[in-house]
Amino acid sequence: MIAPQRNHVRSYRATLGDMSSSPWSTPPSTPWSTPPLAGGPEGADALRPLLGTVLDALRDGATARGGPLPPGGPGAVTAHLRDALADVLPDKGTGAEEALRTLVTALAHGAADPAHPHCAAHLHTPPLAVAAAADLAASALNPSLDSWDQAPAASTLEALVTRALATETHPTGPAPDALVTTGGTESNQLALLLAREHHGPTLQTVCGANAHHSLHRAAWLLGLPQPVTVPAPHGTLDLAALDAVLTDLRGPLLVTATAGTTDTGSIDPLPEIADLCDRHGATLHVDAAYGGPLLFSETRRHLLTGLNRARTVTLDLHKLGWQPVAAGLLAVPDTALLDALGHTAPYLNPDDDTRAGLPDLLGRSYRTSRRPDVLKIAVTLRALGRTGLGHLVDQVCDAAARLADQIDEDPRLDLYERPTLSTVLFRPTGATDHTVATTRRDLLTRGHAVLGRAHAGGRLWLKATLLNPHTTPDDLRELLALVEGSTTR
C-alpha cells in the first residue's frame, strides 16, 4: 500500500513544478523549510529555543508595561498593537523567532495582568506557573477528547480526575462523575440541558436575582421558558420568596442556587434551599463556579454545606483554582445522570469499537474536538494537594477580610459588607454613582488599577475581586490610595 501512495504524492507534486526527487524535501532554490512540529521525540528540542523567546518576550512586555494594564485606554492600546503587528498576513513570513517575539511582547505589554495585585476587577485569575507549564504539554501533544484513538491516556486521566473531583462535591453519590467544560457558562447550560432531557421542555427554571446571566442565556438557547427570578435583596436568594414561587408554579421545576455570586461573592443558603426543593419536588442545581473550591479549605468548606444535595454542580477552576482558561466542570452524584448526552458518530465511536472495549467519549461533551484541559488541573491537584489548594483559597479570602478592615478604618471610604469569599465592595464616602463609575474608568485609562463595579443596595460600588495569593497588605493600601487619589483629582 505504501509505495503506490508515495508514488501518487510524488506525481501529484511533480505536476506543481520543480520539486526535487524526494516528495518530502524542498527544492534547494527556495528558502522555505517545513516548520518543525511540537510533538514526537524531536518536538521538545524544536520547542526549547522558541520557549526561550516566548519567556523573554513575556518578561520584556510585562516590564515595559510596568503596571496592571497599559495606560491610555483602547485608542492607545490599539495603536500600539497595530504598529507592532503591521501586516497580519505578510506575503513572506518573518519566521518563528521574530513572530513570537513581536506578538508575545506586544500582547504582554498590552495585557490586563491578573498577576499584578492591582488587577482585581473580575473572576480573572492569575494562573499558577505549574498550570501554564502543563498547558504547554497539552498543546504540544494535542490529544483530542472526542475519541479514544486521539487521546488514549488523556481520556483515562480525564475519567480519573473528574471522578475524584465529583467525589469532593458529592461524597455520598452512588457514582460521582463530572464533565469537563469551557467554564461556568457551558456548565450551567449543560445543567439545564440535562434537566430538560429529564423533565421535558416545559421545565421551568427558578433562579435568584443574584444568579449568573448565563442561566438566562442557557434557557433562551435551549428553548426553555425564561427563568422566574426570585428576589435576593441582601445578595442571597430570599427563602420566603422562593417558597412562595415554588408553591405557585406548576409543572417540573429546576431551582438554581449560587455558591459565590459574581457581584458580591455571597453564598445562597444551600441547606434551606435544598429543603424547599425536596418539599416542592423541584430539582436543585448549584452554580459554584466561584465558591466551589472552598471545598479544599479546612476552615471554609462548611460554607458549602448542602452542596452535595444538588443534582448538578457547576465548578470553575479558572477562578479559585488558578488555572488558565478553560477549566470548567459540571459535577453530578451519579454518572447515569449524564446518559442524555450520549451520541454516536460512526467514525468516532462505532458500536463494535465500543463493544470491543474502546471507551466511548462522545457523550462526555457536546463539543467534538476537545482540548485535554484536565492535564493542567491534574498536575495542579498533584503538585499542591488538597492542603496547598485550600491554603491558596484561604489566602485570598483572608486578603479580602484585610482589605475590608482597611476600608472600615478609613473614614473616606464606605464598605458594603464583610466579604464571604474574596470579593469586596466599597465606594468613596458621599460619592455619587457617577463619581464611582468615572473613578473606575479613570484608574483603568491611566493604567493604575483594574477594578470592577457592582450594583448593590440601590447604589453603584467599586468591586475588588482578590484572586492573587501573593497580594500583600501594602498592595491593598496602595490600591485604596489610588482610588482616593483618583476620586479627589
| Footprint of ligand PLP on 377-416 (CB under 6 A) | none
Closest CA to 203 of 246, 252, 249, 250: 252
Angstrom distance (rounded) from CA 390 to CA 320: 10
Least separation in angstroms between CB 290 and ligand PLP: 4
Q: Are 327 and 316 in contact, with CB atoms under 8 Å apart?
A: yes
Among 99, 122, 443, CA closest to 265: 122
Contact between residue 136 and residue 58 where contact means Cβ atoms under 8 Å apart: no
Residue 212 engages ligand PLP in binding (rule: CB under 6 A): yes
Q: Which is nearer to ligand PLP, 176 or 328 (CB)?
A: 328
Which region among 182-190, 305-313, 398-406, 429-437 touches ligand PLP (by CB under 6 A)? 182-190
Q: Could you tell me which of 183, 181, 234 has the C-alpha nearest to residue 209?
A: 234
Site for ligand PLP in 322-341 (CB under 6 A): 328
Select the span of 46-54, 178-186, 223-231, 407-415 touching ligand PLP (CB under 6 A).
178-186
Count the site residues for ligand PLP by CB under 6 A. Answer: 15
- Cβ 181 to ligand PLP, closest distance in Å? 8
Pick the closer one to ligand PLP by CB: 106 or 192.
Answer: 192
Strand 413-415, strand 328-332: pairing: unpaired
**Least gap, CB of 132 to ligand PLP (angstroms):** 17
Kindly tell me which of 314 and 439 has the beta carbon lying closer to ligand PLP.
314
User: Is 268 a binder of ligand PLP (CB under 6 A)?
Assistant: no
Is residue 109 a contact partner of residue 71, using CB atoms and an 8 Å limit?
Answer: no
CB of 191 to ligand PLP, least distance (A): 11
What is the nearest approach in angstroms of ligand PLP to the Cβ of residue 69?
A: 19
Amino acid at 225: P
* Sheet strands (E) in 89-236: 177-181, 204-208, 228-230
Q: How many residues does the chain have?
A: 489
Choices 92-100, 183-191, 302-310, 469-477; region in contact with ligand PLP by CB under 6 A = 183-191
* Strand 283-288 with 312-316, pairing: parallel
- Rounded to whole angstroms, how far apart are CA atoms 83 and 78? 9
AA letter at 489: R
| Given 268, 316, 373, 410, the residue binding ligand PLP (CB under 6 A) | 316
Given the complex with ligand PLP, which of 290 and 416 has the nearer CB atom?
A: 290
Q: Which of the residues 282 through 301 are near ligand PLP (CB under 6 A)?
A: 287, 289-290
Q: Which of 68, 143, 184, 269 binds ligand PLP (CB under 6 A)?
A: 184
256 binds ligand PLP (CB under 6 A): no
Phi-psi region of 282 (alpha: psi -120 to 50; beta: other; left: phi over 0): beta
The interface region with ligand PLP, picked from 27-35, 184-192, 305-313, 475-483 by CB under 6 A, is: 184-192
Judged by CB under 6 A, does residue 321 bind ligand PLP? no
Q: Which is nearer to ligand PLP, 10 or 217 (CB)?
A: 217
- How far apart (Å, rounded) are the C-alpha atoms in residues 415 and 406? 9
Q: Is the CB of 193 or the CB of 289 nearer to ligand PLP?
A: 289
Shorter beta-carbon distance to ligand PLP: residue 264 or 487:
264
Least gap, CB of 320 to ligand PLP (angstroms): 10
Q: Is the dihedral of CA 396, 398, 401, 407 positive or negative?
A: negative
Q: Binding marks (x or -) toward ligand PLP, 120..149, rule CB under 6 A? A: ---x--------------------------
Q: Which residues contact 54 (CB under 8 A, 6 or more apart)?
A: 100, 104
Q: Which stretch binds ligand PLP (CB under 6 A): 24-32, 135-143, 181-189, 199-207?
A: 181-189
SS3 (DSSP) at 23:
coil
Taking the C-alpha atoms of residue 199 and residue 339, their distance in angstroms, rounded to an integer, is 14
Distance, CA of 3 to chain centre: 48
CB contact at 8 A, 292 and 285: no
178 touches 316 (CB < 8 A): no
Angle at which helix 239-248 crosses helix 270-280, to 10 degrees, equals 20
> β-strands 328-332, 312-316: how paired?
antiparallel
User: Residue 469, Cβ neighbours under 10 Å: how many?
Assistant: 17
Only one of the segments 257-265, 272-280, 340-348, 404-412 lies at the binding site for ligand PLP (rule: CB under 6 A); that segment is 257-265
Strand partners of residue 454: 461
185 in contact with ligand PLP (CB under 6 A): yes
Shortest distance in whole angstroms from residue 430 CB to ligand PLP: 31
**Between 353 and 372, how does the x/- string for binding to ligand PLP read (CB under 6 A)?**
--------------------
Which residue is associated with the grid cell 492573587?
Answer: 468
Q: Which is nearer to ligand PLP, 265 or 428 (CB)?
A: 265
For ligand PLP, the binding residue among 169, 189, 214, 487 (CB under 6 A) is 214
Query: Which position's Cβ is nearest ligand PLP?
Result: 183
Q: How large is the C-alpha radius of gyration of the chain?
A: 26
In whole angstroms, what is the distance from residue 382 CA to residue 6 CA?
A: 46
Q: Pull the grid cell for residue 304.
A: 458549602
Identity of the residue, 242 or 327, whose beta carbon is nearer to ligand PLP in the bound complex: 327
Between residues 207 and 224, which has the closer beta carbon with respect to ligand PLP? 207
Interface residues with ligand PLP (CB under 6 A) are 123, 183-185, 188, 212, 214, 258, 260, 262, 287, 289-290, 316, 328
